[in-house]
Amino acid sequence: MSYFSHLYCPKCSETYEKNRPVNLCKCGGPLLASYNLKSAGEFKKEDLKGRPENMWRYREMLPVEDPKNIVSLGEGYTPIFSLKRLGEKLGLENLCCKDEGLNPTGSFKARGAAAGISRIRELGIKEIAMPTAGNAGGAWASFGARAGIKAHIAMPADAPEITKTECAVAGASVYLVNGNIADAGKIIGEGAKKYGWFEVSTLKEPYRIEGKKTMGYEILEQMNWDPPDYIFYPTGGGVGIIGIWKAIKEMEELGWIDGKKKPKMVSVQAEGCAPIVRAYERGESFATEWTEPETIAAGIRVPKALGDFLVLEAIRDSGGTAIAVSDGEIKKAMEETARLEGMFICPEGAANVVALEKLVERGWINTQEKVLLLNTGAGIKYSQTLNYDFPLLEKTDRL
């Protein structure tokens, strides 16, 4: 059973009944799912033993009430790998990475799509619309196809080619926009109003974050309920970092973890699009829109996040920080991680590696502390980011 109770606005505290489709609060704030945690106290972490190794093992803390409505491709429970050689280079004894690139559709976006599409199916919605930098579109189009739900997707014209194809092959209507994801979002918003599509833009529906929060549950379970000292997360729309922090607070209320020890959340952005970092450094509660965003890490090229205040809250409440890195450093980290650890991580995941190195150099992290990096997608989907010249041999040539 699910302990899903209602929806609430973290901005104005307004509550909403759970069984009617809704996007945003009347104040314009995002809506979050709330659970009856007193009743959920009957749900023990020991109950997880023997359950299928996917994100639905935490079904009591997810918003789908009838299991028949679950739409799944086996998402979740991605492995955590030790990064021994990279750790040695950085002088760290306990460095690891949770590889979300091993999800269906090749990124952590599969979690949000699985939860969102499942709940949308339960609510009887037939058509959805969204802007995307690439991976989210591929995930929502794929899960939508599995559920028989039509997707309408707009993305920047310079989004990775593979993600454009991924959306189209799943039957989505795909529109390319000469602009960034915010420009695509404006077009989708107008289309949703005109045609009655249910908009599933980042945090403009309440359920994507519920799938993303399962990363937090998994991290703690996979680490035997002993939280890492730091969690590094590449931040665009911010749903991942908000979701992980939401999960940590839920687990504390459930009594699954000791609230005295929580991981410090580190938000990582690109220097060419760093609204969260700028707001954090200025001590602001909301981020101002970043003009002319530019970075090779398309997933974090978000000039203004609807949930920026929730990201900043998670960073500050956890004692974490926010840091920006350059595109040149990201490319080098992609190569270095592959050559040291055999992991072809995405540009967004590589941004974490750069940020970690900078914070170690500043003495912000001790060598014995446990550090977990989130790689949010498969690097192979971004192969155009790295260019190599290969020797061309004739059949008669010898090495």
CA-based Rg of the chain, rounded to a whole angstrom?
Answer: 20
**In angstroms, rounded to a whole number, what is the distance separating the alpha carbons of residues 53 and 75?**
9
Q: Is the distance from CB of 325 to CB of 271 less than 8 angstroms?
A: yes
- Per residue in 312-364, pLDDT (tens digit) is 999 999 999 999 999 999 999 999 999 999 999 999 999 999 999 999 999 99
Amino acid sitting at position 159: A
Tokens 């909301």 map to which residue? 286
Q: Quick: pLDDT tens for 85-132.
A: 999 999 999 999 999 999 999 999 999 999 999 999 999 999 999 999
pLDDT value, residue 136:
94
Task: List, in order, residues 6 or more apart from 293 with CB less than 8 Å away.
Answer: 180, 272, 273, 301, 302, 303
The predicted pLDDT at position 234 comes to: 98
What is the residue whose two structure tokens read 């937090």? 216
Structure tokens at 244: 């992980």
Q: Tokens standing for 397?
A: 């040539």
Structural contact between residues 305 and 236, judged by C-beta atoms closer than 8 angstroms:
yes
**Angle 275-282/308-318 helices, nearest 10 degrees?**
50
Residues of the chain with pLDDT under 70: none
CA pair distance 132, 144, nearest whole angstrom: 15
Structural domains in the chain, sorted by start: 80-107+208-382 (3.40.50.1100)
Q: Which residue has the tokens 């609807």?
A: 306
Mean model confidence pLDDT for the chain: 96
